[in-house]
Amino acid sequence: MITQTPFGTTAAGVAVDKITLQAHGLTAAFLTKGVTLQSVRLEGVGHDLTLGSESLTDYEGKMRHHGSLVVPVVNRLSGARARIAGVEHAFEPNQAGKHTLHGGAAGGQHKVWTVEQLTETHVTLGLRLPDGEGGFPGNRHIRARLSIGPGPALRMEVTASTDKATLFNAANHSYWNLDGSETWAGHSLRIAANHYLPTTEDFTPTGEIAPVAGAMDFRRGRVVTPADTVLDTNFCLSGGRQPLRDVLWLRGASGLTLTVATTESGIQVYDARNAARPGRGFHEGLAIEAQAWPDAPNHAGFPSIDLGPGEDVTQVTEWRFG
């Protein structure tokens, strides 16, 4: 079952709807603003599994990235620049006045998407980004198809096309806490990655592809706490897009589990040390962002995020609960 109801009006006067999907013991709600995953409820569990809000004002403020679909380029572009088809392009330096984070003000997470299709089993939201907005070339059409399948599992398929050579790397930016607790302390985290990307003091990749070891080795899984786990890190899953496969496992102290499957080559995990909902503390949830490796155009050894005309791309992520 899928329903569409009003959620509020943005400061600019644009109406935002909430779209609720319910099947297989799972209920998930998305906002048309930013394709934001606002709520995830599992049958028989008395708390939400993701960090959301009932206030649209929150999503236009400090929670602008909570649950949103970040497009056209998630994460960082160092120096707020990149070469595309041999031409250097400049973007908004919205991080420390030097780097581009999540596409800047032109990011699709700040926009209200259009409902292109709504059926009994899925909904597709669409967004058109004009050539040159935020410095990114190409008239781009992006679609996000949302559905619930057996499992219970939530699935997001993001498709993008362009009429000029451009960059594309999307990711959902939801924060997860399977226990409904004040912090994610006591969760167990496992990641199927043999390498990760060390970063500078600005959290941009140094260019090194380092073997996981010590604090960055989650291959066998372990219980984590904010005191011993500091993360704003891309884990390298593969050298390019792959068929959908399980890549990350999160288990709460309550025994609830989340398995993340993706087609993408990397997964960013952020500990929320500087991200909090109004009235709540830091470290409330872990951000888990399936994506290609960040800052790829500026590092020759990273998998490409180039997208050209006629090269439509589809990224798939699934969240499976138990």
Q: How many CB atoms neighbour CB 207 within 10 A?
A: 15
What pLDDT was estimated at residue 151? 85
Residues in the chain predicted with pLDDT less than 70, given as ranges, are none
Model confidence, pTM: 0.97
Structural domain total, the chain? 1
Q: Please, which residues have CB within 8 angstroms of residue 21's CB and are 6 or more apart in sequence? A: 1, 2, 27, 28, 29, 30, 122, 123, 146, 147, 148, 154
Domain that holds residue 21: 2-321
In this structure, what CATH number is given to the domain that contains residue 309?
Answer: 2.70.98.10
Which residue type sits at 82? A
pLDDT digits (tens, 9 = 90+) for 259-287: 999 999 999 999 999 999 999 999 999 99
Cβ atoms 207, 294 nearer than 8 A: no
Measured CA to CA, the distance from residue 322 to residue 317 in angstroms comes to: 17
Q: What length does the chain have?
A: 322
Measured CA to CA, the distance from residue 1 to residue 234 in angstroms comes to: 35
What pLDDT was estimated at residue 165? 98
Measured CA to CA, the distance from residue 127 to residue 107 in angstroms comes to: 11
What pLDDT was estimated at residue 187? 98
